[in-house]
């Protein structure tokens, strides 16, 4: 049942949206709404109508799955059927908003004759965050409700605000508590019915602005300059401009015509893929849904450096009491003092762990010491005897074997990897690494902890570099190979950053430290790329920290400047130019091929987990949906052929297509089935 019809008082009909989990505007809901609107319109005992949801959600907007399967415009569509019906009703329809009204849900509410909301109700047109734009009149009605400038800001940023922030605007006619929301909405609807037609409506208002054309021109320029600019944002501005000169109903038709190509674009499909992938990632295929998660009330973090203090920040912000330990008590004290200054962390939430005996009272320990197996084993052996039975012992390692660490303890089932990405309070990705003996409860507890910290988890199995770093290393290798062939590092970075990556591979290597990467590789020189990287280290070009690496850096040690001296290190002392498309192919094909190996070996559960890892952890452009989706869109037969061509041209076996790619290419398959 998508709509419940009740009559709480004489003359009033209440239609309650009941379409779990988020009251989406799916086809069954639209059918039920139309049927019930017809029913109350034909009922002479009904004088006024209230449309409402529940305390959590009025309506969360379109069902995105229908955009994917092509049923979003099935009868009765919001634009062609429901909105015209509402406008033609002889009885006023009032939206009673107790929870969130987002996207198409807010558009539906704005096409009602009036709106009553609780002060905390969350309102917003969030379509641009999904690569889309409002397509059911939001660009026409929101400027009429709150003014042109505020509407542009809200729409372009997909911003959600509390209903109380719209007090004094035409968006909300009246406020009520959750307890009397229906009563207030019903009274308003009856008073409108008594006044008779024509009913007041947002569509009858005009958009007033002294310099609308100039304002919109500036907004377009600023939007184009944004790193996260999408076509949906730019087209939304075109649709908003229509509100200045056209009646709302005519603007609605033109807006919808603009919306459809945006909805069907590759960019919007990729961003929708990312949306679904985030929701799929926490689902572990062999983890029973009934697995109990242990509540984490108190945790300890070992290591008070950049990562350790960042992890403590994440835990404390989630309402968990944290003990922070470091071999240097002074370092731990400084980190605790700094954390205490953050307004989102409650006072006394973080304190210094001075004695290991205090670990007897914690539910979780996360070590974040130097990336050395010997150092981490030593920490685990010291901690293990002090922990209570059932307490989790986690490592923040990004590369090391979690099973080896588990063997150093008496609690292998409670040992797990929790790989945070830096800076931990900012980065949303959490790579959960399950060992061979990690218990189902440990996994469930880690997933619950991720939700509590507002992280997006992917669950990986043990393997060198797990999911993210293993594939990212192949990107770095491919970049090094290009440099060894004479392609300037700054050209590679410029092309990949132009594609949308937040930071190119050579800038990333300079940030990490070329000496650190050399140590991780064991000083290997068995490829031309590795030999070139070692030549840099031999010249103490470590990166930002030394002022020189693949780039040179100014006094601030942040701004990367192309360094002519790099040419002397390239083959034959001269650089060669390469077409941007070939640079992109080389780097992305390396990632995709390694991703296929990761899937074959069961390190990653699904291709979309790899996409999420790179979207959230490595700055891959969201508009491309991730490296594996990008490969799907290119066609895996094309990917296979390009890999074979590279193997032939370079003579390197690393370009041999993974068996999974070859099989899917033969079958016409894809990595991501949805």
Instruction: Describe the strand order of the beta sheet including 350-352 as a list of residue ranges.
Output: 350-352, 321-325, 298-302, 364-367, 392-395, 415-420, 429-434, 456-461
Binned at pLDDT 50, 70 and 90, residue 4 comes out as: confident
pLDDT digits (tens, 9 = 90+) for 179-221: 999 999 999 999 999 998 889 899 999 999 999 999 999 999 9
Paired tokens of 271 = 């961003």
Paired tokens of 213 = 């054309």
The predicted structure's pLDDT at residue 578: 84
The predicted structure's pLDDT at residue 270: 95
Binned at pLDDT 50, 70 and 90, residue 324 comes out as: very high
Instruction: Describe the strand order of the beta sheet including 161-162 as a list of residue ranges.
Output: 57-59, 100-102, 122-124, 161-162
Q: With H, G, I as helix, E, B as strand and everything else as coil, classify residue 586.
A: helix
600 close to 606: Cβ distance less than 8 angstroms:
no
Q: Which helix (H) or strand (E) holds 96?
A: strand 93-97
Unique residue bearing structure tokens 């470091």: 326
Alpha carbon distance 569, 567 (integer Å): 5
Alpha carbon distance 237, 154 (integer Å): 12
User: What DSSP line would sit under 616-646, residue for residue?
Assistant: HHS---GGGT-HHHHHHHH-HHHHHHHHHHH
Paired tokens of 3 = 């709509």
Domains along the chain with CATH numbers: 3-264 (3.90.226.10), 298-463 (3.40.50.720), 467-674 (1.10.1040.50)
pLDDT digits (tens, 9 = 90+) for 274-321: 999 999 999 999 999 999 999 999 999 999 999 999 999 999 999 999
The predicted structure's pLDDT at residue 8: 79
Binned at pLDDT 50, 70 and 90, residue 375 comes out as: very high
The dihedral built from the CA positions of residue 241, 242, 246 and 247, taken in this order, carries a sign that is negative
Binned at pLDDT 50, 70 and 90, residue 498 comes out as: very high
Paired tokens of 391 = 């307490």
Paired tokens of 380 = 């685990």
Average pLDDT, the chain: 95
Mean pLDDT confidence for 604-610: 97
pLDDT digits (tens, 9 = 90+) for 64-100: 999 888 888 999 999 999 999 999 999 999 999 999 9
C-alpha distance from residue 190 to each of 178, 182, 184, 295, 578 (Å): 19, 12, 10, 49, 71
User: What DSSP line would sit under 527-571, residue for residue?
Assistant: SHHHHHHHHHHHTT--BGGGTBSSSEE-TTS--EE--TTHHHHSG
Residues 6+ apart with CB under 8 A from 327: none
553 close to 544: Cβ distance less than 8 angstroms:
yes
Alpha carbon distance 444, 284 (integer Å): 9
pLDDT > 90: percent of the chain: 90
Residue 188 or 1, more confident? 188
The predicted structure's pLDDT at residue 602: 97
pLDDT digits (tens, 9 = 90+) for 145-174: 999 999 999 999 999 999 999 999 999 999
Which of these is catalytic: 35, 66, 127, 497? 127
Mean pLDDT confidence for 613-621: 96
Paired tokens of 188 = 């308003």
Backbone angles phi, psi at 432, to 5 degrees: -95, 120
Pairing of strands 174-175, 114-117: parallel
Residues 6+ apart with CB under 8 A from 40: 5, 13, 15, 46, 49, 91
Alpha carbon distance 425, 346 (integer Å): 15
Mean pLDDT confidence for 602-615: 97
Alpha carbon distance 202, 172 (integer Å): 11
The predicted structure's pLDDT at residue 520: 87
Alpha carbon distance 387, 385 (integer Å): 6
| Number of CB atoms found within 10 A of residue 556's CB | 7
Residues 6+ apart with CB under 8 A from 55: 98, 99, 178
Unique residue bearing structure tokens 């209903």: 163
Paired tokens of 422 = 């830096």
424 close to 307: Cβ distance less than 8 angstroms:
yes
User: What DSSP line would sit under 266-327, residue for residue?
Assistant: HHHHHHHHHHHHHHHTT--TTS-TTPPPPP--EEEEE--SHHHHHHHHHHHHTT-EEEEE-S
Which of these is catalytic: 4, 41, 107, 600? 107
Paired tokens of 608 = 């979309």
The predicted structure's pLDDT at residue 643: 98
pLDDT digits (tens, 9 = 90+) for 461-487: 999 999 999 999 999 999 999 999 989
How many CA within 13 A on the CB side of residue 572? 6
Mean pLDDT confidence for 416-434: 97
pTM attached to this predicted model = 0.92
107 carries an active-site annotation? yes
183 carries an active-site annotation? no
Q: Where are the beta strands (DSSP E) in 316-461?
A: 321-325, 350-352, 364-367, 392-395, 415-420, 429-434, 456-461
């Amino acid at each position: 049942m998508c709509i419940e019809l009740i009559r709480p008082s004489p003359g009033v009909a209440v239609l309650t949206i009941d379409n779990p989990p988020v009251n989406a505007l799916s086809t069954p809901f639209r059918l039920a709404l139309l049927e019930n609107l017809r029913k109350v319109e034909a009922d002479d005992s009904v004088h006024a109508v209230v449309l409402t949801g529940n305390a959590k959600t009025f309506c969360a907007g379109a069902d995105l799955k229908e955009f994917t399967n092509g049923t979003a415009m099935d009868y009765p569509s919001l634009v062609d059927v429901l909105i015209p019906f509402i406008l033609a009703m002889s009885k006023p329809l009032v939206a009673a908003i107790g929870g969130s009204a987002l996207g198409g849900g807010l558009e539906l509410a704005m096409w009602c004759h009036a709106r009553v909301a609780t002060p905390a109700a969350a309102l917003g047109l969030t379509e641009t965050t999904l690569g889309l734009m409002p397509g059911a009149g939001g660009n026409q009605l929101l400027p009429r409700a709150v003014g042109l400038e505020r509407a542009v800001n809200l729409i372009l940023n997909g911003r959600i605000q509390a209903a109380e922030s719209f007090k004094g605007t035409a968006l909300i006619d009246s406020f009520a508590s959750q307890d009397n929301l229906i009563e207030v909405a019903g009274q308003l609807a009856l008073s409108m019915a008594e006044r008779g037609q024509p009913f007041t409506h947002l569509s009858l208002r005009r958009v007033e602005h002294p310099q609308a054309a100039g304002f919109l021109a500036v907004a377009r320029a600023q939007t184009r300059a944004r790193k996260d600019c999408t076509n949906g944002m730019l087209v939304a501005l075109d649709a908003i401009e229509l509100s200045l000169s056209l009646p709302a109903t005519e603007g609605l038709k033109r807006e919808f015509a603009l919306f459809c190509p945006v909805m069907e674009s590759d960019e919007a499909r990729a961003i929708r893929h990312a949306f679904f992938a985030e929701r799929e990632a926490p689902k572990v295929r062999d983890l029973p849904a009934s697995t109990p998660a242990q509540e984490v009330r108190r945790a300890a973090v070992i290591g008070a450096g950049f990562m350790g203090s960042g992890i403590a920040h994440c835990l404390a912000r989630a309402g968990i009491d944290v003990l922070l330990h470091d071999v240097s008590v002074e370092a731990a004290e400084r980190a605790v003092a700094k954390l205490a200054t953050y307004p989102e962390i409650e006072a006394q939430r973080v304190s210094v762990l001075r004695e290991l005996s205090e670990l007897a009272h914690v539910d979780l320990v996360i070590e974040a010491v130097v990336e050395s197996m010997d150092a981490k084993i030593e920490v685990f052996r010291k901690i293990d005897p002090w922990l209570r039975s059932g307490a989790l012992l986690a490592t923040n390692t990004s590369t090391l074997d979690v099973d080896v660490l588990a063997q150093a303890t008496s609690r292998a089932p409670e040992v797990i990897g929790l790989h945070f990405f830096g800076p931990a309070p900012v980065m949303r990705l959490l790579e959960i690494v399950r060992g061979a003996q990690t218990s189902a409860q440990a996994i469930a507890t880690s997933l619950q902890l991720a939700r509590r910290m507002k992280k997006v988890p992917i669950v990986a199995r043990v393997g060198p570099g797990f999911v993210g770093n293993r594939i990212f290393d192949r990107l770095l290798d491919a970049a090094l190979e290009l440099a060894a062939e004479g392609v300037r590092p700054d050209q590679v970075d410029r092309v990949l950053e132009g594609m949308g990556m937040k930071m190119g591979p050579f800038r990333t290597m300079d940030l990490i430290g070329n000496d650190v990467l050399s140590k991780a590789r064991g000083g290997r020189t068995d490829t031309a790329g590795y030999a070139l990287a070692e030549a840099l280290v031999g010249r103490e070009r470590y990166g930002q920290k030394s002022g020189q690496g693949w780039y040179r850096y100014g006094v601030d040690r942040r701004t990367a400047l192309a360094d002519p001296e790099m040419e002397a290190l390239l083959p034959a002392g001269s650089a060669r130019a390469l077409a941007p498309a070939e640079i992109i192919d080389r780097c992305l094909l390396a990632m995709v091929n390694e991703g296929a190996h990761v899937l074959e070996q069961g390190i990653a559960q699904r291709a979309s987990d790899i996409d999420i890892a790179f979207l959230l952890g490595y700055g891959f452009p969201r508009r491309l949906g991730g490296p594996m989706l990008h490969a799907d869109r290119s066609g895996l037969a094309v990917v296979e052929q390009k890999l074979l061509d590279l193997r032939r041209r370079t003579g390197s076996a690393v370009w041999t297509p993974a068996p999974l790619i070859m099989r899917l290419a033969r079958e016409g398959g894809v990595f991501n089935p949805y």
